[in-house]
Structure 1
C-alpha cells in the first residue's frame, strides 16, 4: 500500500472532483495571460477614443469589459481553488484520522502474544514517529495534486501558443524533475536507515527513565549506558538524518530554480531558434513565472511524501505482523460455570515474546473451582505468569484444551469467557477513569472503596474519573484492586499484587479481600511468594521449569507453622 493509495481509497469520488476542479483552476488561470496580453496590446490611439468610457467605481480603467472579465476570472479562480483545496484537505484529514484509528483498532484487537513479540518500543516508535510522518505525507498530497493540475493547465496554454516551445519546456521540466529525484531518493534511503534506530532509541529512553534508580547507584554503569546506548544512537541517527536532510534540501533548492532556469533558457536561447512574436514570448514567460509557485509547491510536497512512504512501509510491516483475533462478540453471554479444567495444556514461546523461543510450558493438568483461592508459586521463569495468561485467555494453548465446566474454549466462545475474568498483572496499566461501568452510583461506590483502601486523602472521583493516578506503586495497585472489585467477575487473577504493599495492606489483601471474594463464590488465582500467607490458600500449585511439580493443600500443624498435604501432581 502506497501513500497515494491511502489518499485515493479514502474517497475516490471526492478526489476525482478535486482533480477536475484543480484542472479547471489551472486552465482558467492560463486564460488570464491572454487577457493581460490583449489589454497591453491596445495602441494609445485606441485608448484615447474610449477615454470617456473608462470611469468605473470612480477609477480610471483601461478597457472596462476586459477588466471585468479579468477580475471576475480571478474571483472564480479563488473560489474554485479554495473549494478544490478544501475538498482534498478534507479527504486527507479523513485518511489520516482513519489511518490512526485503524492502527489503534489493530493493536486493540491483536493477541497479547503478538504485541509482546513485537515489543513496546517498536509499537511506540511507529505510533508516535511514523504515523505523524505518514499524516504529513498524506496531507501534502492535496497540494501536490492541485499544483500538478495547475501546471498541466498552463502547459496546455503554452502548447496553444507554440507547440515547439511547449515540447522544449516540457522536456526541460521533465529533465529537471528527474535529476531532482536522484538526490531525493538517496536522501530517502538515509532516512529509511535511520528509522529502525529509533526503535532502539525508544528502548534506551525507557531504560534511562525506568532504570534511573539502578543507574544512580553505579557511576560506571550510568556513564556506559549514556555513551553506548543513548549518545551513540543519537549520533548515528543524527548523521544519517543530517545527510538525508542535506541531500533533500539541496534537491529542493535545485528544484526552486528549475522554473527560473527554464525562463532564462527560453528568453536568451530558445527565442533565437524558434520564431516567437513578442506577444508569444511574453505569454510564455508569464506562464513560466506563474508555474514557479505550483512547481515550488510540488517540490516541497515530494520530500514529505517520500518520507511518508518510508514510514508507511514500516506501518505496513507492522500491520502484516499484527493479526486480529478471530472472536465472536461478547454479547453472547457465557454459560454459568463452576470449574475450569486445563487438560494437557502447553504453550510454546516460539510464538510468543522475543528471547523466550526455547521455553515451553506444560503439558499442564489442573482444576480451578469457584469458591476457592488457588496460589501459584515457583521461582522466576518457572511459568507462573504464562500459565495465568492462559487461564485468563490472553495466551492460546499451542496444545491441549481449556474447559469451562465441560465446554471447550474456542474462537466462538473465548470472548464471552474472557468477559467473566478480571486480572491485575505485575505489569498492569491503570486507567484514569472507570471504563465500561454504567452504574449511576459509581462515584459513591468508588468513594467507599477509596476510604476502605486508604486512598481517600489521595484520590477523589467525579463522574467516574479519578482526580489523579500519580501515586506510589502500592497505592496504584490498591486503585487497580478497586477497579477489579467493581467489575464483579467470576474469576480473579492477581499477579504479585501484594509485592509493593506495606505490611498492613498486605495483610488486608490476604486476610480480608481474598476470603471476601471466595465467600462471594469467585474463583481466585494468586501468584505470590508470600509464604507466610500460604495457609490461607485452598490449593497451592507449585511450578518448576514450565511444569506443575506438585499440588498441595495447606493445613496448620502444632509446632510447625504449616504443613502441606500433597495431592496428585498436575503434570503428565
Structure 2
C-alpha cells in the first residue's frame, strides 16, 4: 500500500497522452492564426505592388477555411484544457488527502497549516497555470512561425528584430529573479496567515467574551502579515509589469526604425516594410501573452515545489496499513500491556513504563490530576503516538511493538476533543434497529433522525453531541470502548444515568469492555478496576479503601 501511494504522489502532474493531443491542437491553432496573417500580408503586398494574380474569391475561400480550422481547433483546445485543469485541480487535492488519511496522527499535526495552504493557495496556482500552459505553448509556436516568415521577408530586418527581442527577454529575465524571490516569500506568509486564521476560528468563544483578544490578534499579527504579503506581491507584479512595458517600448522602437529608417539603411522595399511591420504588430500579441503568463507559471512553480515537498513528507511518514488484520482479535478475552513508554522528546513530559491488564467485559476507570498523562496514555494504547518501548499480549499471544497497528481495531474511542461526523462513516451495514434503541437509551429521540445513514442535524449541545458520538462507536461494534471525560459535558441527571445504567447496559447487552478517564469520584464504585495516573505512571487503586467517598 505504501509503495502504491508513493508512486501516485510522484506521478506526472499533467497526463502525457492528453498533453500531446492538446499540443497538436495548439500547433494547428497557432499555425491557422499564422496562415490568416500570411494571407492578409499577401493581399496587402500584391495591392501595393499591383501584381494581383489571384481573384478575390480565392482569398475568401482561404479566409473561410483558415477561420474554420482556427475556430474548431481553438474550441477543442479550450474545452480540453478546461477539463484537464479541473482534473489536475481535483487530482492534486485527492492525492494530498489520501496521504493525510494514511499519515500518523501526531506527525500530521505538524503539517496542518502546510496542508491548508496546499489545498487552497497552491492548488489554485497550479490549476490556473495549467489553463495557460497550452496558451503559452501555442504562443511560442506562433512566435516561431512568424520569425520564420520574417526571415523569408528580410534577413536584415529579422537580425535587427532578433537583437531587440533578445534584449527585451534579457531585461525581463533579470528583473524576474527578484520578483520570483518575493513570490516565494509571499507563499511562506500564506502559511502564517492560515495559522492566525485558525487561532481566530478556534478561539471564537474566547474572542466573543473578550473582544480585545481578537483586536490584538488582528492588529498585531494579521495586519502585519497582510500588509507584508500585499506589499511584496504588488512589488513583484509591478516588476513584471515594468519589464513588460520596457519590452513593449523596445518593440515600438523597432517598428519605428523599420518604417522610418530601414528603407535608407537597408534599401528595404516599401511592400516588405509594410508586410514586416504588419507581422511584428501581430507578433506583439503572442509575446505579451508569454510575458503575462510567466508570472503565473512562476507562482505555480513555487506552489508545485511546495506541494511535492508536502507529498514526499507525508509519504515518508505514512503509517503501516494492516487492513488484513481487521477484526483479528475481536473475540479477545484479555489484553495485557507491558512496559509501554512514550516521551514527547528529550527533557519533556513522558509516560511509562506502564503495565496494564484488562479483561473482556471489564469496566476500567482512570483518574488523576490535570497534566498527569491520562490522555497521553490513552493516545498510546490507541497507537496514535508511536511508542518508544512496549509490547502487548492478547490472550497470551505476543504482539510486538512494530506490529501494534494490529490491535488498533480493538478500540473505538470518544475523545474529549471529539469530532461528530454527520453520518455513520466506516460502518458497512448500519443496524437501524440498534440506532433507534440507542437513541431511546441516550434520550435523543425527537432531537435527531437518521435518514440514509445521515443525521438530520449535528447542531446539538456538547453533551448531546457526545451521546451521538458514543452511539456511533457502539455501531462500529469494536470490543473496547475508550472514553475520555465523556460524562464531563452531561447534565447531572444524565451523568447519573450513564454511570448507573448505560455502562452496565453496554457491557451486558453489547458485550463491550470500557476504559474511561473520569473525575466523577462519586461513581468510582461502578468500575471493576480503578487506576490512578500520577507523573506519567499508572497505579491500581483499591476501590474498597475509597468507600468514604461514595
TM-score calculated relative to the size of structure 2: 0.87
- Tell me how many residue pairs correspond in the alignment: 538
**Higher share in helix:** 2
What is the distance in 1 between the residues matched to 2:34 and 2:110? 57
Match of 2:465 among 472, 476, 480: 476
Aligned 8 A contact 2:179 2:239 in 1: yes
What is the distance in 2 between the residues matched to 1:333 and 1:72? 68
Between 1:309-318 and 1:471-480, the stretch displaced more is: 309-318
Aligned 8 A contact 1:377 1:541 in 2: yes
Post-superposition offset of 1:217: 4.7
Between 1:30-39 and 1:98-107, the stretch displaced more is: 30-39
Aligned 8 A contact 2:333 2:360 in 1: yes
2:352 matched residue in structure 1: 362
Aligned 8 A contact 2:521 2:549 in 1: no
What is the distance in 1 between the residues matched to 2:128 and 2:34? 30
| Distance verdict in 2 for CA 1:315–1:266, change over 3 Å | same
What is the distance in 2 between the residues matched to 1:256 and 1:477? 65
Aligned 8 A contact 1:346 1:399 in 2: yes
Query: What residue ranges of structure 1 are gaps of 5+ in the alignment?
Result: 51-61, 351-355, 563-572
2:341 matched residue in structure 1: 346
Residues 1:543 and 2:533 aligned together: yes
1:54 matched residue in structure 2: none
Matches for 1:151-162 after TM superposition, within 5 Å: 151-162=143-154
Matches for 1:289-328 after TM superposition, within 5 Å: 289-322=281-314, 323-328=317-322
Aligned 8 A contact 2:372 2:535 in 1: yes
What is the distance in 1 between the residues matched to 2:260 and 2:437? 87
Aligned 8 A contact 1:106 1:324 in 2: yes
Aligned 8 A contact 1:338 1:369 in 2: yes
What is the distance in 1 between the residues matched to 2:461 and 2:379? 26
What is the distance in 1 between the residues matched to 2:49 and 2:145? 35
Post-superposition offset of 1:107: 0.7
User: Per-residue CA shift, 1:424-452, capped at 9, x if unaligned?
Assistant: 1122222112213343653x543443343
What is the root-mean-square deviation of aligned Cα atoms in Å? 3.2
Match of 1:106 among 92, 99, 108: 99
Aligned 8 A contact 1:194 1:241 in 2: yes
Post-superposition offset of 1:21: 3.2
Residues 1:235 and 2:265 aligned together: no
Post-superposition offset of 1:307: 1.5
Post-superposition offset of 1:72: 0.4
Post-superposition offset of 1:410: 6.2
| Distance verdict in 2 for CA 1:367–1:164, change over 3 Å | farther
What is the distance in 2 between the residues matched to 1:47 and 1:371? 103
2:167 matched residue in structure 1: 175
Between 1:214-223 and 1:164-173, the stretch displaced more is: 214-223
Matches for 1:348-497 after TM superposition, within 5 Å: 348-350=343-345, 358-409=348-399, 416-439=406-429, 442=432, 445-497=434-486
Match of 2:496 among 486, 496, 507: 507
Aligned 8 A contact 2:351 2:536 in 1: yes
Q: State the SS of the aligned residue for 2:543.
A: strand
Residues 1:81 and 2:74 aligned together: yes
Q: State the SS of the aligned residue for 1:368.
A: strand
User: Per-residue CA shift, 1:299-335, capped at 9, x if unaligned?
Assistant: 2222122112222233233223322223232475414
Match of 1:23 among 21, 27, 38: 27
Post-superposition offset of 1:374: 1.3
| Distance verdict in 2 for CA 1:321–1:283, change over 3 Å | same
| Distance verdict in 2 for CA 1:219–1:430, change over 3 Å | closer
TM-score calculated relative to the size of structure 1: 0.84
What is the distance in 2 between the residues matched to 1:82 and 1:462? 44
2:3 matched residue in structure 1: none
Post-superposition offset of 1:270: 4.7
What is the distance in 1 between the residues matched to 2:48 and 2:309? 69
1:97 matched residue in structure 2: 90
